[in-house]
Copies of this chain bind each other. A is one copy, B any other.
């Protein structure tokens, strides 16, 4: 039994995600459908790319991940099907699948053109329901990627900002804020290791963000005391600024894109 996951900016009030599930089961009842998130920021392609990029690896190989964050729906923007890292991904060709494509040198991208699989509807295209959901259901039923369209190489790509490294310091930025108000940055565990100066968590870099400076990296949340703001390597393997009690985002008045700097030595 195949698994199909959904990652969208639809929210949960409206019946849009439910409709997609209906369409899938109508074609193929032999699947499990899992919601990864319907709370991606409205039309926030980078957030969608971040969330699916950090989530898909926890699912079994051959899982089909449908991602719908799509400001350009209905325009010339194409639907695509991607194979990467042993998983399938279906979504708009707007960069939201950039992270998963870039994560495997053997990635392949197919433009979805086989309209015989689409649901016919009046009105503004709801591609999640009319294209992505049925293609996912048919793919799970034994379809091959090339059944849905030809392979392409001119797919859209967006840059997830990467940290800028110096000999003894690194500048990154906040790329995601979770529901606890934790500030998740683009500095990875490996970036810190690569600096060769750090033996996580023994060494004590200084970390600056939003005008405050912190020393050392915590190993678990409860190590921070009272209203202390502190850095930690989080469960994504990313450098995160948090408060144990409270909300670091509110406390620092911080948002996505805010700069963070890590410095080693004196």
Contact = CB atoms under 8 A, between A and B. Distances in A.
A113 interface: no
A60 B26 contact: yes
A18 B35 contact: yes
A25 B60 contact: yes
Given A71-B222, A123-B237, A129-B235, A11 B59 contact: no
A189 interface: yes
A33 B59 CA distance: 14
A4 B14 CA distance: 18
Given A121-B235, A123-B237, A235-B123, A3 B25 contact: yes
Nearest to A126: B235
A54 B63 CA distance: 29
A51 B130 CA distance: 18
A18 B34 contact: yes
A42 B123 contact: no
A36 B13 CA distance: 9
Interface residues of A, number: 69
A5 interface: yes
Interface stretch (A72-80, A147-155, A257-265): A72-80
A34 B25 contact: yes
Contact of A122 (B15, B63, B189): B189
A55 interface: yes
A218 B124 CA distance: 8
Contacts of A218: 124
27 contacts: A10-B179, A11-B179, A12-B38, A13-B179, A14-B179, A18-B36, A18-B37, A19-B55, A19-B58, A22-B55, A22-B58, A22-B60, A23-B58, A25-B60, A26-B60, A29-B32, A33-B34, A58-B129, A74-B219, A75-B222, A77-B222, A121-B235, A122-B233, A123-B236, A123-B237, A124-B218, A124-B240
Interface of A: 1, 3, 5, 7, 10-15, 17-19, 21-23, 25-26, 29, 32-39, 42, 51, 54-56, 58-60, 63, 71-75, 77, 121-126, 129-130, 178-180, 189, 218-223, 232-238, 240, 244
